[in-house]
Amino acid sequence: MIKVIHNNSCPKSKAILEYLDENDIKFQIIDIRKDPLSLFELRTLFKKLNKNPSRILRHSTELFKKYFSESESVNDEQALEVIALNPELIQCPILIKGKIAMPGNPLENVKFFIEN
């Protein structure tokens, strides 16, 4: 079963859920705003993504600007701590299948992820 880290206010995230539903693909929703991930869960997620936390942050938000300066690089441990307190900073959706995770955008990547 595929797990989808989802933000209900994100149109891309909603579109992926709709695609999965229309194609009868079983999935479990992890609503990142209602059920934020712990620091341990975030570390595990980023290992599965094989990406640094700073690469999955929504850099264009005011919330990002509140915690991070645009001129300095983002420390990954600091990013994890900020994400734990502000889960809406993660770019959603993120799909998880077993030991692998991937950003759920673009849709073509999602199709490939599901089929393989």
DSSP string, 33-87: TTSPPPHHHHHHHHHHHTS-GGGGB-TTSHHHHHH--TTSPPPHHHHHHHHHH-G
**Enclosing H/E stretch for 96:** strand 94-97
Please answer whether residues 49 and 103 qualify as being in contact, where contact means their C-beta atoms are separated by less than 8 angstroms: yes
Per-residue pLDDT tens for 19-75? 999 999 999 999 999 999 999 999 999 999 999 888 888 888 888 888 887 656 788
pTM of the model: 0.87
C-alpha pair distances (Å), 64 with each of 23, 27, 47: 35, 29, 22
Among all chains, which residue has been given the structure tokens 């909603």?
Answer: 14
Mean of pLDDT values over 78-107: 91
CATH 3.40.30.10 fits 2-115, yes or no: yes
What pLDDT does 59 receive? 82
What pLDDT does 71 receive? 59
Of residues 32, 43, 45, 40, the one with CA closest to residue 86: 32
Q: Where are the domains of the chain?
A: 2-115
The model's confidence at residue 115, banded by pLDDT at 50, 70 and 90, is confident
Mean of pLDDT values over 5-16: 90
